[in-house]
Structure 1
Amino acid sequence: MVIQPKIRGFICTNAHPEGCAKQVAEQIRYIQGKPKLNGPKRVLVIGASTGFGLASRIAAAFGFGADTIGVFFERPAEKDRTASAGWYNTAAFEQAARAEGLVAESINGNAFSDEIKQETIALIKEKLGQVDLVVYSLASPRRTHPKTGETYTSVIKPIGQAYENKTVNFMTGAVSTVSVPPATEDEIRQTVAVMGGEDWEFWIRDLLEAGVLAEGAKTVAYSYIGPKITYPIYREGTIGRSKNDLEATALKLDRALDDAVGGGAVVSVNKALVTQSSSAIPIVPLYISLLFKVMKDKGLHEGTIEQMYRLYADRLYAAEPAVDEAGRIRIDDWEMREDVQREVDSLWEQISVDNLNELADLEGYRNDFLRLFGFGIPGVDYEADVEPNVPLTRG
């Protein structure tokens, strides 16, 4: 099959196996080029196949030399349809990790369900015995509650009043004004149910009860705050309400883990990056395009793998981990530097369709988006016939 990108709105509906494998290999090489870390040797990553979750797994395996189990929900290839990018990413990761003699096992299924939690616990007992780090990096638009059976759907909306501001179509470069109506109380409730901390808490409670968390085990989940430009649609909107719930859950889990195994829980606030999730949020692609321009000019730009190495090396497993006043790890610190945000604010006021390519790094945004799906990777022949059926196997 010759595989070219198929873009629909803010998503790509196919993926390239060789391109995905190459970008996984690039992340592995980056970690291998860094000093080895002292830290966990048995790691569970929930939401392990793309973005920060994938980078977390790569950094743990090739930075710590950790055995890993990954949980995700991805699609295999079938008939004339490619597998999802996360499927190909995982296949490439597992092959590379096993070549280094590491345990690399995966479970593909609904991580919100009790069944997948119990399957994961059984696999931990079989392959690792216990884990000493649990990374929670799930991103999903829907969640079915495992106890009640209610299905929730998240929305990306402001709270209280409508929000209007500039946005960009990152594929066409069209700059326009978008207006987003306020969320209803039920939409807020459902978004918190999908993206808040309840499922993370369910995971940690089940792992504790099963006795598969090692002495001193830590868990980390990911969040974002961002600049005031995006507050109405993000931190002060439905997503922000969910992140508040996630951060409150971290405090509860921190106490529970300290009491049970002498461990802890923390939220890491990460940098704005191109992900499938961020591409769906109005205003955010334009902000990220401006941010990339400023941070690249200053030599401060990071991708997911650079962020995860810095999280592990300088924060989570540092001798004295630095946290903010709310107890959160901040690896968005370079993004939120005063000089960076001042320049982004200035560009935001000037931006229009006429100067977009001059003031913003829209090409960088677009390239990063395509790379999520294995496209635009140097050295890959996208005119060649490739085999889309790539297996995931147990080691």
Structure 2
Amino acid sequence: MEGSVTNMQLSEKITGNVSRSVNPHGLERMMAQQIETVRQRGAYAGAKRALILGGSASYGLGSRLTAAFGQGATTISVGYARPPHDDFLGAAGWWNQVYFKQAAERAGLVAQNFNANVFLNSTKQLVIDYVRQRLDGPIDLLVYSIAAPKRINPENPDEVWRSVIKPIGAPVTDFSVDLEREELVKQTITPATPEEIAATTHVMGGEDWELWVTALRSAGVLAPNCKTILFSYEGPTATAAIYHDGTLGQAKRAAEASARRLQAKLGPTGGEALISVNRSATTKAAAVIPGFSRYCLALLQAEQVTGTHETTVEHQDRLFRDMVYGRQRQVDELGRLRPDAWELAAMTQDQVARILPKITPATFTRNLPGYQQYRREFRQLSGFDVPGVTADFDLTELNQWHD
């Protein structure tokens, strides 16, 4: 960034349900708060060297936070987020990586970020080389937390698979929150074609997860007792048509099949391949799922009554502390970990069932408690609406980051 002006006033910009601006200082404050959340719960025995695929935001970032500041692990994060360029301040994920590494190193922990395409073979080799050359042992925790719009076919670079969020078999009409206009809008989503279903499964299923495990094992950088985990979602009946029964749900069923194949390979040496069915969360990826945001408003409002709300880092810390490495595993008939049990508990869903029909375009208001919390959580993903943080930013700060 060139020019004589170094100070700027940051302005928030939301287009539809996509945030197109960032406040780095707000993200720094949010990172400090999340680290403190983990630290207050104390240290626990877990991984020594964790590889987080998709560690720049959401459940991937939450996993990395509890691995580093709860377990004391060395952490490697792989995932692409746009860095600052010209008059663009960079994506929130890029800053999350920067601030995480800075905080980890202050705490005496090793933290490495690779801002790269997780699907590429060259990225896998980059990580393998780093583990061989720089770490004192193999990876003993592999987290797969990737939500991506597309993936190149590794066997045919000319073919690109693109994921879609669509129902299967019949169209779905539902209401979603438009965060830009702050209103509820009706959407009708046409059913996915067979080709779209297949492409979404290639991108969002477990294929690449299996490729990562295979590559790391073949290179001798995966510990025999390694635990690897991929995140899924079930949700209630209210979201089933667009999620569980749609293209995303189909992809997650494929990921569960991947987990079974991986378990057959890792189990004999003491390793584990796990699926965790996580709770609904305010994330940038979830914000664009048709109808999902309306359910989230009702859920957040219900949880204000039941007192069962968790932030992403709280959820992930409980998952790893109690279930992955602890003795409080909650599993279903398919063997999947179920930290989402709090969300799906009868007392919470009964509240949701009462609230959801009342959230319509005619009754929607910005003062709705669930909406206020949803919008605040969404804005904080980009560093806005963070208490004590101003909109001032000094562009010369960019010169000190060489991530």
Shorter-chain TM-score range:
over 0.9
Q: Report if the CA contact (8 A) 1:40-1:132 is conserved.
A: yes
Deviation per residue, 1:258-297 (Å, 9 max, x gap): 13x3201001111101111100001101100110011122
Q: CA deviation at 1:346?
A: 1.7
1:42 aligns to what? 49
Alignment partners' CA distance in 2, 1:390 and 1:333: 45
Deviation per residue, 1:68-111 (Å, 9 max, x gap): 11101011111111111111111111011011111101111111
Q: TM-score, normalised by structure 1?
A: 0.96
- Choose the corresponding residue for 1:210, options 213, 219, 238: 219
- Choose the corresponding residue for 2:260, options 240, 244, 251: 251
- Choose the corresponding residue for 2:142, options 118, 126, 134: 134
In the TM superposition, what are the counterparts of 1:111-122 in structure 2 within 5 Å? 111-122=118-129
Q: Report if the CA contact (8 A) 2:49-2:141 is conserved.
A: yes
Deviation per residue, 1:136-170 (Å, 9 max, x gap): 00111111122222211111111001111232223
2:105 aligns to what? 98
In the TM superposition, what are the counterparts of 1:226-245 in structure 2 within 5 Å? 226-245=235-254
1:325 aligns to what? 333
2:292 counterpart of 1:275: no
Count of residue pairs the alignment pairs up: 393
Distance 1:75 1:278, change over 3 A: same
- Choose the corresponding residue for 2:353, options 345, 361, 365: 345
Alignment partners' CA distance in 2, 1:5 and 1:30: 27
Question: Which stretch of the first structure deviates more once superposed, 64-73 or 141-150?
Answer: 141-150
2:266 counterpart of 1:223: no
Distance 1:320 1:16, change over 3 A: closer
Deviation per residue, 1:5-30 (Å, 9 max, x gap): 12112111221211111111110011
Distance 1:390 1:316, change over 3 A: farther
2:27 counterpart of 1:9: no
Question: Which stretch of the first structure deviates more once superposed, 345-354 or 228-237?
Answer: 345-354
2:298 aligns to what? 290
1:161 aligns to what? 170
In the TM superposition, what are the counterparts of 1:355-374 in structure 2 within 5 Å? 355-357=363-365, 360-374=369-383
Name the Cα RMSD after superposition.
1.6
Deviation per residue, 1:27-76 (Å, 9 max, x gap): 00111111211111110000110111111111110000111111010111
Alignment partners' CA distance in 2, 1:388 and 1:54: 23
Structure 2: which amino acid aligns with 1:28? I
Q: Report if the CA contact (8 A) 1:315-1:322 is conserved.
A: yes
Q: TM-score, normalised by structure 2?
A: 0.94
Q: CA deviation at 1:351?
A: 2.0
Q: CA deviation at 1:345?
A: 1.5
Structure 2: runs of 5 or more not aligned: 1-7
Q: CA deviation at 1:354?
A: 4.8
Q: Report if the CA contact (8 A) 1:270-1:331 is conserved.
A: yes
Residue 334 of structure 2 aligns to a residue in which SS?
Answer: coil
Q: Percent identity?
A: 38
Alignment partners' CA distance in 1, 2:395 and 2:23: 9
Residue 4 of structure 1 aligns to a residue in which SS?
Answer: coil
Alignment partners' CA distance in 1, 2:47 and 2:229: 13
Q: Report if the CA contact (8 A) 1:91-1:390 is conserved.
A: no
Distance 1:166 1:343, change over 3 A: same
Structure 1: which amino acid aligns with 2:353? D
Alignment partners' CA distance in 2, 1:294 and 1:232: 22
